[in-house]
Amino acid sequence: MMMIAMKTETTVTKSSLKNIKAGLLVLPFSVKSLKKDAPKVLGALGLNDRALKDFKAAAGDTLLFYPGGAGVKASRVLLLGIGEGAATEDYRKAGTSVARQAATCEVQSVAVDASSIVEWSARSALSLEDIAELLTGSILNATYRFDRLKSGKMEKDKKKKKASYEGISRLIFRVNAGSIKDVEKGTVSGMVIAESQGVARDLVNLPGNLLNAVDIARYASESAEKHGYTATVFNKDAIDHLGMGGLMAVNKGSKEPPTFTILDYNPGEKSKGTVALVGKGVTFDSGGISIKPANGMDEMKCDMAGAAVVIATVEAAARLGLEYRILGFIPSTDNMPGGAAQKPGDVITTYSGITVEVGNTDAEGRLILADALSYAIETYKPDTIIDLATLTGACIVALGYGVAGMFSNDDNLAAALYDAGQVSGEKVWRLPLWDEYDELIKSEVADVHNTGGRGAGTITAAKFLQNFIGDHKHWAHIDIAGPAFSGKAGAKAHGGTGFGVSLLLDFLRNM
């Protein structure tokens, strides 16, 4: 069940702008360079510069020209604003605007004039490779569409049905000769990151009837075989034999078996350390016996976004050849209210031996993460361990839909993840793990309770997980409940966002 993604060919050239054949030729300008450079560039291409009165060059601003009889081989010319060109967000906004204009015009080849990339680098303190990666990644990520489940049978215009827009198939960067190698490196890494984000988005967007725990394990195994890392899959009997009481308990109400998948990218002797990533893989969360309200339950197919991010990140790490051993741990099941389902008040024994009183069966993600965290630390002894999960609605209440909550017992790790969020645009905000919150998850009949009451819900969930890392000193928990999925209301791109892939890759590449 390999994901079906459109492949984009990237090319870096020093050809003159006039000779580049493309559906869309993009001319980026900063606010500072607009008045000085834009009239000369447009004049050289035979285009009238009077339209510059309507263009301010703020990041993401665009102005479209149709060259007509001008001496340009491109079908369209797009002025693109990069604002001050001093921040990563300037280039990310610019790339997103290019993708949207390409989709509006339904062009498949886009050429970007990056002949000023050395100046952009000096202004932003970003390397040429970084800027090329940012532009490539943001352009390709913004072209993402999930429409593979549409049959087209309801499309009245048959011609339109046959000629539906499939995205950008060719992306060209025009640079000066001295910049070619750096920009080529950046376009390659940008493409890998965008494609990996697409993998995560595809997995999240597949509905529960087309993606269960076995399917997740199957995709991970296919990815491992294709990209040169290993995948080990534990079936239900093996999970039971391991004593993973949390995962087995959540699975009790389901007719679909659980899986526990371990991914292992190992660069060998050049490895600088081991990082373990743990992702929550609940393929559909009904809430179990503590069933969720009907409104919005259809979006609970996204409750495996943490697992999707882990798979995509390990895949990207292998493709990029990172110098760390990256392990991925994916406990996966759905959470259903069947006749055999776990009940509020049940007490379960987790892999670690810690007993848990289940106060609410909709607090299931922490139960399966508890098993995976304990197993990963005990068996592989990673230097750093990070878990990602769409864990609590309380995190959305605290931070909204654009930012993830972060918890860590390591100040340096927390700072590195925060910095990675600022650079990648996938922002995280640290919340406390103070001891007084432990009081909220005390149980009278077991070692710990899986809920902590109405207040501080995202914090008590993190405190619950902290019980299962033992004395490990370098752990972080990232609650991606808000940014992992864009709902229908007001969303520019409905569905999975891939949030966490860029964050983790930036962190891993800058450790």
* Catalytic center residues: 292, 366
How many degrees, rounded to 5, is the angle at CA 321 between CA 319 and CA 324? 125
Which residues are paired to 72 by β-bridges?
none
Question: What does the alpha-carbon distance between residue 96 and residue 389 come to, in Å, rounded to a whole number?
Answer: 27
Answer yes or no: are the C-beta atoms of 387 and 408 closer than 8 Å. Answer: no
- Least Cα distance to 462 among 414, 403, 407 occurs for 407
SS3 39: helix
Q: Is the dihedral of CA 412, 417, 418, 424 positive or negative?
A: positive
Helix or strand run (H / E) with residue 278: strand 274-279
Residues for the chain: how many in total?
511
Query: Three-state SS for 29?
Result: strand
Cα-to-chain-centroid distance, residue 118:
29
Q: Are 9 and 171 within 8 A, CB to CB?
A: yes
Largest CA distance in the chain: 82
Q: How far apart are the C-alpha atoms of 170 and 183, rounded to whole Å? A: 16
| Both structure tokens of 205 | 């967007």
Helix orientation angle between 411-424 and 501-509, rounded to the nearest 10 degrees: 120
Pairing of strands 259-265, 325-335: antiparallel
Partner residues linked to 347 by β-bridges: 357
Q: Are 11 and 172 in contact (CB under 8 A)?
A: yes
